[in-house]
Amino acid sequence: MAHMRFLFVGDSMTIGCAGDFTWRYRMWRHLESTLPGRYAIVGPRTELYDVRAAAPVSAAYAAADGFPADARRHLAGWGEGWLHMAPVIGDVVAEHRADVLLVSLGLIDLGFYTNSAQTEVNVRAFVAGARAAAPRVRMVLLPVIPNVRARVDAPFAAECERFNELLAKAVADLDTAASPLLLASPPTGYELDGDTYDGTHPGPSGEHKLAGAFATAMHQAWGVGGPYQAV
């Protein structure tokens, strides 16, 4: 298998807070065990979000001693969504020569910026921008997963459900042999009370489930890596 360059793209659940392991760390462990020496993690950022500073300035990963600097790279931001990533993804893919995008976006868009239909337009713009920079780029897209606001806000829950339907249709429409798109399955058994620390952001078990969703999609569809083991 050829050397693969992975780019994590996401919002607050992907960048993580000071003191988090992050699901990116869990995915790095998985890649180390299944693709040793045959991958790289790329991206323009490495920081965690520091809540006290209200800025992405922290390097205090819970796994700092075992998480090498190069593996911490990403394109994720607190409060950033498809709306923010669509205009920049082309330049980032070109500069960092990304081959595979692992994308977890949508919750912040629907919560603050755009409705489901508008968000789907930004998904399509994101895919077009990435492909303009790298016509053979692959992408794995995660639907909006369970969150505390959807538990108590019925209209918002309906928008999340509608967006996930539109996302699935967009993936089906845009998937090509040259530049495959995958829709990852929502993490199995994802529980807000057990897998998050605040109803939205994943704790350790949630991080494993998010990483597992991406790993399983790539392994089953493309034969990349292997079955996910929660190391």
For residue 49, count CB atoms less than 10 angstroms from its CB and return exposed for 0-12, middle for 13-18, buried for 19 or more: buried
Per-residue pLDDT of the chain (231 residues; tens, 9 = 90+): 469 999 999 999 999 999 999 999 999 999 999 999 999 999 999 999 999 999 999 999 999 989 999 999 999 999 999 999 999 999 999 999 999 999 999 999 999 999 999 999 999 999 999 999 999 999 999 999 999 999 999 999 999 999 999 999 999 999 999 999 999 999 999 999 999 999 999 999 999 999 999 999 999 999 999 999 986
pLDDT of residue 230: 81
pLDDT at 125: 98
- In CATH terms, the fold of domain 4-222 is Rossmann fold (3.40.50)
In sequence order, the 6+-apart residues with CB closer than 8 A to the CB of 146 are: 186, 190, 191, 192
Distance CA 137, CA 66 (A): 29
Q: Cα angle at 55 between 52 and 56, to 5 degrees?
A: 115
**How do the domains of the chain map onto residue ranges?**
4-222
Q: What pLDDT shows up at residue 65?
A: 86
Tell me whether strands 55-58 and 48-50 are parallel, antiparallel or unpaired. antiparallel
At residue 2, the pLDDT reads 63
Residue 33's pLDDT is 96
Cα 83 to Cα 7, 15, 138, 194: the distances in Å are 18, 17, 20, 30
| pLDDT score, position 231 | 65
* pLDDT value, residue 203: 97
SS3 label, residue 216: helix
* Alpha-carbon gap, residue 127 to 104, rounded angstroms: 14
SS3 230: coil
Contact between 13 and 108 under an 8 Å Cβ cutoff? The reply is no
Cα distances (Å, whole numbers) of residue 105 to 24, 109, 118, 172: 14, 8, 14, 18
Which amino acid makes up residue 214?
A: F
Say which amino acid occupies 101.
L
User: Closest Cα to residue 186, out of 204, 159, 165, 172?
Assistant: 165
- Pick from 118, 121, 168, 122: nearest CA to 143: 168
Cβ proximity of 81 and 106 under 8 Å = yes
- For 31, phi then psi, to 5°, come to -65, -35
